[in-house]
Amino acid sequence: MSRALVFDAYGTLFDVHSVRARCDALWPGKGAQLSQLWRTKQLEYTWQRSLMRRYEPFSKVTRDALEYCCAALGLALDAGKADTLMDEYLRLALYPDAKSALEKLRGAKLAILSNGSPDMLDPLVAHSGLRLDAVLSVHELRAYKPAPQVYQLAVDKLAVPKEQIEFVSSNCWDALGAKSFGFRVCWINRAGAPVDRLGFTPDRILEGLATL
C-alpha cells in the first residue's frame, strides 16, 4: 500500500455538475449546457493563465468562466445570480462512493491536492465532513496543475517520497501530469473515455472510487 494517497478534488471527490440543478432553476432548460461549458472554460482558463504566468485565484477564474459562459449562451447574469452559483461551489455534492472509499483507505496518509483556492476549497471540505491529513492548494505556488511544481507540493507537505505516493484523479490530463512527475497514478474513468495521448498511461484505471 502507498504511504500516501493524494486526491484531486473537483470532479474526483466532488461532483462539479451538482451545480446543474441550481443553473436550471435560474435558466430552465439550460442547466446541463451551462454546467458543462462552465467546467470546460474554467479548466481552459487555468491552463492559459499558467502558460501566460498570469495567475489569478481559482475563485476568480471560476467566476470569470461563469460570466463568459452566460454571455456565450445568451443568459442574463447579474451579481445576485453569480453569487448564488459561486456559493454552490462551496457545497458541491460528494460522489456517493467518496466518503466510504476514504474511510477504507485510512492507515495511509490521505490528502487533497487541488487547483481550488483556499477561499473555495476550505469551506467545501469542511462542509463535506471528509477526514483528511492535508488539504493542499496550488494557491501558494501561483501555478495550476499539471505544472510539475504542483505535484512536488504534495511531496514536500506530506514528507513522503514521490515513489510512495499514489495520485487519484478523474481528470485524465491531471493523472498523466502526476505520472509525468513520477507518482503512481489511478485514473477514475467514470465515463469510459479513452486515455489522453500525452505519452503516459495510468497505472490503474477504475470506474469509481469504491474499488481503490
* Residue 1 scores a pLDDT above 90: no
Of the chain, the end-to-end C-alpha distance in Å amounts to 11
Domain containing 135 equals 4-14+92-211
Q: pLDDT tens-digit profile of 35-78?
A: 999 999 999 999 999 999 999 999 999 999 999 999 999 999 99
Cα–Cα distance measured from residue 77 to residue 16, given in angstroms and rounded to the nearest whole number: 20
Nine cell digits for residue 78: 447579474
Domain boundary among 25, 58, 91: 91
* Helix axes of 58-73 and 31-52: crossing angle, nearest 10 degrees: 130
Domain boundary among 63, 91, 119: 91
Q: How many domains does the chain have?
A: 2
Same domain? For 97 and 65 the reply is no
* Helix axes of 58-73 and 118-128: crossing angle, nearest 10 degrees: 90
Q: pLDDT tens-digit profile of 147-179?
A: 999 999 999 999 999 999 999 999 999 999 999
Same domain? For 42 and 119 the reply is no
Written in H, E and C, the secondary structure of 93-107 is EECCCHHHHHHHCEC
Same domain? For 104 and 124 the reply is yes
Same domain? For 149 and 126 the reply is yes
64 is catalytic: no
Q: What is the pLDDT of residue 100?
A: 96
Domain boundary among 68, 91, 114: 91
Same domain? For 110 and 165 the reply is yes
Same domain? For 149 and 84 the reply is no
What CATH number is attached to the domain comprising 46?
A: 1.10.150.240
Q: Which amino acid appears at position 84 of this protein? A: T
Nine cell digits for residue 153: 507540493
* Residue 3 scores a pLDDT above 80: yes
What CATH number is attached to the domain comprising 9?
A: 3.40.50.1000
Check 8, 78, 174, 196 and give the catalytic one: 8
